[in-house]
Every structure is written in C-alpha cells, then in structure tokens.
Amino acid sequence: MSTGGEKGSSTTKTPADFLKSIRGRPVVVKLNSGVDYRGILACLDGYMNIAMEQTEEYVNGQLKNKYGDAFIRGNNVLYISTSKRTLADGA
C-alpha cells in the first residue's frame, strides 16, 4: 500500500506547486473584504504575502485604481486565481 501512495503523491500537484507555477502570470487576488486585485504575480511567501505588478483594484466589479506595484498582506487574502484575460504591456 505504501508504494501506491508514494506514486500517487509524486504525480499530485500541491497548492505550493500551483503557486510556483503561476509566478509571472496574470492573477486575480480576492481579499476578505471583497475587493479584487488583478495583475502579474511577482512573488509570494509562506504567509501568502503577495507582491504584484501592473495591479488594478476592482470594487464591486468596477475598476477603482491602478498601481504599478502592490503588496498585499497574506492574512487579507481569500483566494488567488489565474486570470484568463491578458494585461496590456505598460498598462
């Protein structure tokens, strides 16, 4: 039984694998307050502190502000999702 479990775990993606794979890609970060931040994921740490580039802030689905770089404290993060839309360079 232990061999089957080991084989399964080597092919299973963990949340850490997912987070490593989306670095440098467009993401949506939803906060506990309901605010969304959309931009390029620059880096994150074990506490889910996030650094983003080309960041846009959305409140109730409407664009409220644009930031060059944004830093989000991890305890405010509800989830991180990959974004299907592409961000224009230099926007």
pLDDT 10s digits, 24-39:
999 999 999 999 999 9
Q: Provide the pLDDT for residue 83.
A: 74
The answer to whether 66 and 57 have CB atoms below 8 angstroms apart is yes
Whole-number percent of the chain with pLDDT over 90: 63
Question: Does 4 score more than 70 pLDDT?
Answer: no
pLDDT band at residue 23 under the 50/70/90 scheme: very high
φ/ψ region of 61 (left if φ > 0, alpha if ψ in -120 to 50, else beta) reads left
The confidence score (pLDDT) of residue 54 equals: 96
Question: What are the phi and psi torsion angles at 11 (to 5°)?
Answer: -100, -10
Q: Which position has the higher pLDDT, 2 or 21? A: 21
Question: What average pLDDT does the chain have?
Answer: 84
Contact residues for 91 (Cβ-Cβ < 8 A; gap 6+): 54, 66
- Structure confidence at residue 2 (pLDDT): 46
- Tell me the pTM: 0.75
